[in-house]
Amino acid sequence: MPELPWIFTRIDLRALVDILSVTLIFYWLLWVIQGTRAAQLVRGLVIFVILVVGAANLFHLQALNWLLSQALPALIVAIPVVFQPELRRALERLGHTGAWLRAPLGSHEPQTEETIEEITKAVAQLARLHYGALIVIERETGLQDYADRGIPLDAALTQQLLVNIFFPNSPLHDGAVIIRGNRILAAGCVLPLSENLTDPQLGTRHRAGVGITEESDAIAIIVSEESGQISLAVNGRLYRNIDIERLRRALRALLHVEGTGRRRLSTLLASSASGTDAPDAKRRREPTGATTREDTPASPSRMG
């Protein structure tokens, strides 16, 4: 390896910064697509390119080499189109870094602790009564667009109001509630559906809860109507079968309540992410809606 000493002589501080910058960019992109369908797409694309380019160079296939050289500009245009959701989420996360530069937040709102208590008490009652529910907590990314699609409330957040909203057959129960600070911004909201959930036990409500966390940094709490089990969706990931105490700890950490530290969410929720909802004994036909009851197996053509 006579070239190695020569290579090391060419490395200076500028080269190290250059290499580190490229490494961090690729690491960030891989971190963004981790756990999404884009990871499989990238893996398949890399394997395809290696096989085709390798075959073209190994067997000196001139026509295939020409086709690859002509397809490269089209590939550069196609990549942002294919990975549009992941790129959008990556840029949104990059925009959230502005919050890191602010003064440490002991509490996002003076009433954050009270808000968490009202939410957890309401979720506990909803789970005990087997009322299906989808509660979305706004953080840095504004959810006004989704709130405008629902029924505006701008009401004080209380346990009783949340339970009444999700009372079966009430006008507002068949949708999501959006919470901003210590107020209920809107109810009956329609949310985007995630395409990354493959478990047939998870229906539209779970897909909507995960979908809003893929599009923003919001927190979604889902209560199963049939089983009464509680799930938490954050950053496009679903943590299932969590109890009230774990939910309270997770909300305190995610909302930066003073004294919670910065432990990993998976540690706070322990083994919740590996849980599964119990199969429903009876499947009931649900009304159409983007955030309807989640216990019927969801499919792109069936919204409820």
Tens-digit pLDDT profile for residues 243-301: 999 999 999 999 877 555 445 666 666 544 433 333 333 333 333 333 333 443 333 33
Q: pLDDT value at position 281? A: 31
| 151-156/183-189 β-pairing | antiparallel
Between CA 304 and CA 289 the distance in angstroms is 6
Inter-residue contact 223 to 123 (CB < 8 Å): yes
Please answer whether residues 120 and 195 qualify as being in contact, where contact means their C-beta atoms are separated by less than 8 angstroms: no
Question: What pLDDT is attached to residue 67?
Answer: 87
DSSP-assigned letter for residue 292 = -
User: How confident is the model at residue 105, as a pLDDT?
Assistant: 39
232 CB contacts (<8 Å, ≥6 apart)?
Answer: 219, 220, 221, 222, 238, 239, 242, 247, 250, 269, 272
Three-class SS of residue 299?
A: strand
Task: Flag residues of the chain having pLDDT under 70.
Answer: 1-8, 34-37, 89, 92-93, 95-111, 258-304
Angle among Cα 63, 64, 69 to the nearest 5 degrees reads: 100
Cα angle: 231, vertex 236, 241; to 5 degrees = 15
Q: Contact, 191 vs 197, CB < 8 A?
A: no
Give the model's pLDDT for residue 304. 34
Amino acid residing at 177: V
How far is the C-alpha of 291 from the C-alpha of 283, rounded, in Å?
17
- Residue ranges matching CATH 3.40.1700.10 in the chain: 112-274
pLDDT of residue 8: 66
Question: So what's the pLDDT on residue 192?
Answer: 92
Q: Provide the 8-state DSSP code for 231.
A: E
Please tell me the predicted confidence (pLDDT) of residue 273.
Answer: 45
Strands (E), the chain: 133-137, 151-156, 176-180, 183-189, 219-223, 230-234, 237-239
Identity (one letter) of the amino acid at 62? Q
Closest CA to 66 of 77, 76, 52, 80: 52
Q: Are 146 and 178 in contact (CB under 8 A)?
A: yes
- DSSP-derived 3-state class of residue 230: strand
Determine if the pTM surpasses 0.85: no
CATH topology of domain 112-274: YojJ-like (1 (3.40.1700)
pLDDT of residue 5: 65
Neighbour count for residue 287 (Cβ, 10 Å)? 10
C-alpha 270/C-alpha 124 separation (Å) is 19
pLDDT of residue 137: 95
